[in-house]
Amino acid sequence: MNNWIISGASVLGGEPADIFVRDGVIADSAPDSAQRLDATGLIALPGLVDLHTHLREPGREDAETVETGSRAAALGGYTAVCAMANTDPVADTAGVVEQVWRLGKDAGLVDVQPIGAVTVGLAGERLAELGAMATSAARVRVFSDDGHCVHDPVLMRRALEYVKAFDGVIAQHAEEPRLTVGAQMNEGDTSARLGLAGWPAVAEEAIIARDVLLAGHVNSRLHICHVSTAGSVELIRWAKSKGWRVTAEVTPHHLLLTDDLVEGYDPVFKVNPPLRTEADVLALREGLRDGTIDIVATDHAPHTVEDKECEWAYARPGMVGLETALSIVVEAMAGTDRLWERIADWMSATPARIAGLSGHGAGLAVGEPANLTLVDPAVRWTPGPAELASRSHNTPYAGRELPSRPVATFLRGVPTVLDGKAQK
């Protein structure tokens, strides 16, 4: 099953070429018995890598499981995802991260790399067993309390220092909690008009300012999750100009959607951090283009109907995103020079490097594992929430026509998606 001749694909948007896969590895020829796939008109990209996925297992299998989330990922063109630690129980021990890692292997649709919690129970009081998670079978390198901010500066400093021993990285959910008590949406004109409590940009920016200084001070690796404001982009640009080891992600939804969508009070638009203004969206796009923001990460956050389709104030924040991420990036970043090459960097090579995932993001060079996706750049499609493979259907794009879509995905030469259909 893992010898292939994929013919006529435009590699990273360049000239059409044949891609040979031999025993799951990109090769310069394939045996006569290899299966053939006519990829004329399709773009070949390295398999996408998501640094920020909520798979919900263990604990909220009614919203998503490792298997259903893996299937959604493969359909979205991904070959690896990093599973966030805010499960129940929290992934704050070697036992839980190994459980998630094994479930990923059993599902066999993408490589599932668990993220470990920074603090016990995400409570922000004591450091979790970072070393034990790093040396476990799951080889954790990314640690995050995502959903919660590591708001104590001393704990944050200790975490940054601790992970240096194994070249780990702390992925911070930047939200000063005292500034967002009761917050329901972006603080600004729209929140004032709607009478909803605001989540001010400064709550994100204050933590980013503090943490880039801390990362510089202890010379450790900091990654900023889901950057959402123009001011955050400026701070990260400044931190990078100092040579500090800071990386940052933006979500597809923050590159496209704005806070005026909240006017209909549809909780599908409730997300953390909240949708911001047009000026923020434009600054995020510019930050991604100029390299201030390193990657696009989905923050795929599945929630059940009960948790989402209720009054705005009671709805949980989050949107599913794995199956629409590539389309949204194509739409939001249209007009960017060499867009497919940039997408390969933003959504594969750089996230793989930040997460320390070997075998992913290396491109389509001979000798590399055949982790790749084939994208139909010309197709337009309209997501119907019930057709998405994710167990939860909280997509903000239902009924919206989107450009481009992955149609085939290969994990080490084995197709996980063919003809737009999951293979298991």
Binding residues (CB under 6 A) for ligand NCD: these are: 54, 86, 146-147, 173, 271-272, 299, 301, 316-318
Length of the chain: 424
Nearest Cα residue to 6 out of 15, 17, 19: 19
3-state SS of 201-264?
A: HHHHHHHHHHHHHHHHHHCCCEEECCCCCHHHHHHHHHHHHCCCCEEEEECHHHHHCCHHHHHH
Residue 146 assigned ligand-binding role: yes
Residue 255 assigned ligand-binding role: no
Nearest Cα residue to 298 out of 27, 65, 77: 77
Which of 24, 273 has the CB closer to ligand NCD? 273
Q: Which residues in 1-31 are b (16+ Cβ under 10 Å) and which e?
A: ebbbbbeebbbbbeeeeebbbbebebbeebe
Query: How near is the Cβ of 175 to ligand NCD at its closest, in Å?
Result: 8
Query: How near is the Cβ of 317 to ligand NCD at its closest, in Å?
Result: 3
Query: How near is the Cβ of 325 to ligand NCD at its closest, in Å?
Result: 14
Which of 210, 316 has the CB closer to ligand NCD? 316
Query: How near is the Cβ of 273 to ligand NCD at its closest, in Å?
Result: 8
Selecting among 92, 299, 307, 376, the annotated active-site residue is 299
Q: Which H or E element spans position 131?
A: helix 130-135
Residue 2 assigned ligand-binding role: no
Residue 217 assigned ligand-binding role: no
User: How would you class 48 by CB atoms within 10 Å of its CB: exposed for 0-12, middle for 13-18, buried for 19 or more?
Assistant: buried
The separation between CA 90 and the C-alpha centre of its own chain, rounded to angstroms, equals: 19
Residue 254 assigned ligand-binding role: no
Structure tokens at 395: 């997509």
How many whole angstroms separate alpha carbon 11 and alpha carbon 18? 9
Residue 339 assigned ligand-binding role: no
Query: How near is the Cβ of 22 to ligand NCD at its closest, in Å?
Result: 40
Residue 28 is among the residues annotated as catalytic for this protein: no
Give the three-class secondary structure for 181: coil
Query: How near is the Cβ of 159 to ligand NCD at its closest, in Å?
Result: 18
Nearest Cα residue to 60 out of 110, 100, 114: 100
How many whole angstroms separate alpha carbon 351 and alpha carbon 169? 12
Structure tokens at 10: 């435009």
Which of 68, 416 has the CB closer to ligand NCD? 68
φ, ψ for residue 83, nearest 5 deg = -90, 120
Residue 317 assigned ligand-binding role: yes
Residue 3 assigned ligand-binding role: no
Pairing mode, strands 78-83 and 25-27: unpaired
Which of 136, 180 has the CB closer to ligand NCD? 180
Which of 144, 373 has the CB closer to ligand NCD? 144
Helices marked H in 36-128: 66-75, 94-107
- CB atoms < 10 A from the CB of 367, how many? 9
Which of 20, 269 has the CB closer to ligand NCD? 269
Residue 299 assigned ligand-binding role: yes
Nearest Cα residue to 93 out of 137, 46, 53: 137
Which of 245, 254 has the CB closer to ligand NCD? 254
Query: How near is the Cβ of 329 to ligand NCD at its closest, in Å?
Result: 18
From the annotation, which residues make up the binding site?
52, 54-56, 86, 146, 173, 226, 272, 299, 303, 317-318
From the annotation, which residues make up the binding site for Zn(2+)?
52, 54, 146, 173, 226, 299
Catalytic residue list: 299
From the annotation, which residues make up the binding site for substrate?
54-56, 86, 272, 303, 317-318
